[in-house]
Amino acid sequence: MESPGARALLRLLLRVAILLSLLPVYGADVYSLVYKGCANHSFPGGAVAPTVAALSSTLSLQSTSAKFYKTSSSSSSSSTSVFGLFQCRGDLSGSDCSACVSRAMSSWSDVCGASVAARVQLTGCLALYEISGFPQVSGTQMLFKTCGTGGGGGTDFEMRRDTAFAQLGDYVGVSNGGF
């Protein structure tokens, strides 16, 4: 027979375990590449316009105090206007959001070169820019994408998928009239 003290301790441990399981995972990698999208056109001469640098500066400043921000930037020396935005996950602190946005923006040139439009989504945030007036394409038309590594289903995804389909086939085969 258990003592009342042991039961109370067991209940307390169970409550603590439940509370800990509800807490978000802190320290998780928010910088893993999820998606990148690049335009097929590049800035003339292959150099990213100064307006993108000005836009990056504005977005970076705003990312310390906001989870979402969009703006446009233009240069007095050219008629080029650039639209940009960032969005962070709601559970990120201001400093984590800022660090994630900075990392995403610094990877624009790494992943897209001097493209006139770039979209980089990391685990913790999304940052994008595009030249205003850049011809938009249908949301269903895929131009170019690269996703992060891994298939998303784990290492034994194919085995689990095949097992599920086999079990479904067995069930349909024995039921009366199929579905």
pLDDT digits (tens, 9 = 90+) for 36-46: 888 888 877 65
pLDDT digits (tens, 9 = 90+) for 96-130: 999 999 999 999 888 888 888 899 999 999 999 98
Is 121 in contact with 35 (CB distance < 8 Å)?
yes
Rounded CA separation 143/73 (Å): 25
Q: Where are the domains of the chain?
A: 42-148
Burial of residue 169 (CB within 10 Å: 0-12, 13-18, 19+) is exposed
Using only the alpha carbons of the chain, give its radius of gyration: 24
Average pLDDT, stretch 65-74?
A: 90
Is 54 in contact with 129 (CB distance < 8 Å)?
no
- Please report the pLDDT score of residue 123 as a whole number: 92
- Please report the pLDDT score of residue 127 as a whole number: 95
For β-strands 33-38 and 81-88, DSSP reports them as: unpaired
Is 84 in contact with 126 (CB distance < 8 Å)?
no
Q: How many residues in the chain?
A: 179
pLDDT digits (tens, 9 = 90+) for 149-162: 655 556 677 777 77
Instruction: Tell me if residue 16 falls in helix, strand or coil.
Output: helix
Domain 42-148 in this protein, CATH class: alpha beta
- Please report the pLDDT score of residue 104 as a whole number: 95
For β-strands 68-74 and 33-38, DSSP reports them as: unpaired
Q: What is the mean pLDDT of the chain?
A: 77
Is 102 in contact with 71 (CB distance < 8 Å)?
no
Picking from 51, 122, 130, 118, the residue whose alpha carbon sits closest to that of residue 87 is 122
